[in-house]
Amino acid sequence: MKIRDVVVTPIAFPDPPLLNSAGVHEPWALRTIVQVFCDGLVGLGETYGDAPHLSLVQSAAGRLRGLDIYDLSELRRRVSLALGAADVPDRHGLTGASTTEKTLARVVSPFEVALLDLQGRTIGRPVHDLLGGKVRDLVPFSAYLFYKWAGHPNAEPDEWGAALDEEGIVAQARKMIDRYGFGSIKLKGGVFPPEQEIAAVRALRDAFPGLPLRLDPNAAWTVDTSIKVALETDGLLEYLEDPTGGRADMAAVAEKSPMPLATNMCVVAFADLPEAVERGSVGIVLADHHYWGGLRASAELAAICRTWGIGLSMHSNSHLGISLAAMTHLAAATPNLNYAVDTHTPWQSGVDVVADPLVISEGSARVPDTPGLGVTLDEDALARLHENWVRCGIRERDDTGYRQRVEPGFAKRRPRW
């Protein structure tokens, strides 16, 4: 069961102009698809597409021939050797200062997923069985709302149209919930002054009285603003996500906040956990196998959260169907996943790199019981999406620069309010 070959393919797919505290999504989102070949089978992985990361993934791929598909320890060792002291900053600033350990975790992840996919395919078992077995048949996802422009500059409005105030956000939520049946809602904030985003939360509460709501300004607020918003939204939010930056400031907010704080910014690696626990920075951690080092590492994170009584939710970046399947298997096998999972799936307009993506309906994805991840690469789609990448010219996500082209005075500031 040795790896015969590894193919790494950068791709790009259309992305709507979704606003966040750093800027706005560019017309193309980047991603890297990993195929690992062994004994006539292929295992799939999906990860970030930014050039520095892509280059490390390619470099690691070159070291994997002959690796046994069960030997995840040796995978880590070989990737570590390939990376040396490489230390790639997260340009989007979401996960704090870079370290070689964080870089290693991000590069290991797509290969680990691909090897688990291969193991499952080889023995005819779903990936969740390799993680201890599923505890649920349906994984709930949340509607992930964004303030957005009607369309990209110099382009027609997209199918979602503008959402630049509470009416737009409620209309977006309604459309998304009509399509997917989501049973909870997350609003990406940090775009407008807090009062305006609080108004949107109130409007969502009025429009969807029974649905849990979350607000995530990506650390756009000071401690004082965060506390003010937390007090004003008391009773409205199931959790407030990364109102401010850093474990010390999050702890200061948590102390006064009536609802739990969640994070995918100040606890993003195992090394962050001891301080976060000691300070009481957060009540909920958003797992994400893409940067925690894979599915097994995410299961370890879950064990830690269970042990320390920390809630567990799941984070999403723009992604396609391999990541959706991996997230679903992980969620299925994680007893203490307490919240609906974030996903960007609705924003990808049905574009995918797999022929048989999981379907979200009535707010949930059914957990596949077929071998491996349960999804199949669409070779033609991969070729088309790679062609996009060749032609789009984008090599690193730059939400800030893109927004500045439209609003020259825009600056990324954390905190802004």
For binding to a second copy (CB under 8 A), which residues are involved?
Answer: 68, 70-75, 122-123, 125, 129-130, 132-135, 270-271, 273-274, 277-278, 296, 299-300, 303-304, 306-309, 333, 335
CA dihedral 226, 228, 232, 234 (to 10 degrees): 60
188 catalytically annotated: yes
295 backbone dihedrals φ, ψ, rounded to 5°? -75, -40
Give me the least distance between CB of 118 and a second copy, in Å please. Answer: 12
**Residue 315 a catalytic site member:** yes
d(CA 28, CA 286): 25
84: left (phi over 0), alpha (psi -120 to 50) or beta: left
E-only strand ranges, 164-289: 185-188, 213-216, 239-241, 261-263, 284-287
CA distances from 143 to 181, 302, 360, 415 (A): 9, 23, 11, 26
Contact 390, 10 (CB under 8 A): no
* 346's tokens: 């609705």
C-alpha dist (Å) from residue 199 to 17, 149, 283? 22, 19, 25
- Output 10 or 120, the one with its CB closest to a second copy: 120
* Residue 313 β-bridge partners: 286
CA distance 373 to 137: 14
Greatest Cα pair distance, the chain, in angstroms, is 59
Query: Residue 73, exposed/middle/buried by CB under 10 A (0-12, 13-18, 19+)?
Result: exposed
Options 148, 188, 329, 344, the catalytic residue: 188
Nearer to a second copy, 92 or 329 (CB): 329
Looking at the Cβ atoms of 132 and 193, the one nearer to a second copy is 132
Distance of alpha carbon 180 from alpha carbon 194, whole angstroms:
28
User: Which of the residues 228, 290, 315, 319 is marked catalytic?
Assistant: 315
**Rounded CA separation 310/167 (Å):** 34
- Where in 293-393 does DSSP place strands (E)? 311-314, 341-342, 360-361, 364-366
Residue (8 or 75) nearer to a second copy, CB: 75
Q: Which of 82/297 has CB closer to a second copy?
A: 297
Catalytic (active-site) positions: 188, 315
